Chains A and B, each alone.
Chain A
């Protein structure tokens, strides 16, 4: 019986070792030190120790969105720039070049909640920065929120964004893609500016009769489906 018990013990232990190899549980810790040059104007040095997955090399991604100029059917493909850095869980909006409407700001809370459905990291340890490179002086609406969510996921999965794909959709906190205004105009603008594909919500009703565009229209239900069409591995990474 003793042999039986010992054998069972060994089998269970080995089983857990094998099972554990498949799980992302951060147990082994090493401390690396990074030093940063100190500009003279700075007074305070704050030491952080945070759980950071170092398997990603870039902290900035660019996702293409589509904007329509107010009261027109013309527009442009805009670059939505998403960046992360160690912080305290803040959502920061870059207003250096472009101002943002209140409606856009109020919906940004859903972007962070959306991303948390598709990554394992705790975003309380990071500040998320969002900016939009556009010719417009101010931007309104939530049709860029899906792109922002995708951008955050791309960073933490160490993947980049297909530059030939544009995204125009809102998001809910659980990642579902939400309908937008002027979808036909946005599809036309994306096609005119050389996009290969555009991601539009599955629930969006489209009238494609007046669109003369050679562009692939992808209509996923949620961000999870959309990721399959837009995330690509980084160069040099299998």
Chain B
């Protein structure tokens, strides 16, 4: 009985001691601070996966107080070098377009996707549009998807896999697909063959004929060519 009583006292002291000794020990301070940041802007990147299928990958762009860094969140996918270079150019152009210095800000790019590696420069235009939207405190319309590289001066350059990307945009419910200049029409080669006989010899002659087809007719989505980021912003940012 005495042992049990001592045990209870021991337990009680343990509980009391645990919650009181902290006032005499190491002080940890909770800091409440107000962090200035923009609401992350989400935009869909049109891409082609390793199987040749078009996919849309959501990208978040966030602007925070900082020192001019361009940060990529590598918690999920890795970014190939050319994609990183597109990010730099996208931030540079967004800064120029909005007239906002990035010297005291950091731009953070985050992708949430099952893909492990993201590569290629075709997301440059989308990154620039999203960065502009973030700097202006606006959002990007979900119904519009863009593909194209970003070039100095804010020009949008050519990319590949246009048809597959358009199909992915249509499947996701987008109503408008913005493409670089000259890419709203795709070339589909077809082969016309004729056979004829000369003497005892049969000859087969084939001619490759290129058909130029409006992309909007193939994928059932409105397609618009845009040559600059400023043009794209007019359709995408609200």
Contacts and interface: CB of A to CB of B under 8 A. Distances in A.
Contacts, number: 189
Interface stretch (B20-28, B141-149, B223-231): B20-28
B4 interface: no
A219 to B, nearest CB: 29
Interface residues of A, number: 63
Nearest to A23: B25
Interface string B15-34: 01111111111111111111
Interface in A176-226: none
Nearest to B119: A102
A8 B30 contact: no
A30 B26 CA distance: 12
A16 B13 contact: yes
Contacts of B6: 5, 8
B35 interface: yes
A92 B107 CA distance: 11
B37 A28 contact: no
Contact of A29 (B18, B29, B35, B78): B29
Given A36-B65, A91-B73, A95-B72, A47 B32 contact: yes
B72 A34 contact: no
Contact of A91 (B10, B65, B75): B75
B79 interface: yes
6 cross-chain pairs, A with B, having the tightest CB-CB distances, nearest first:
A16-B17, A27-B22, A20-B21, A26-B28, A12-B13, A92-B71
Given A47-B33, A96-B70, 15 more contacts: A9-B13, A20-B18, A20-B25, A21-B25, A26-B22, A34-B32, A34-B34, A35-B33, A36-B35, A36-B36, A53-B29, A86-B33, A95-B70, A99-B84, A105-B78
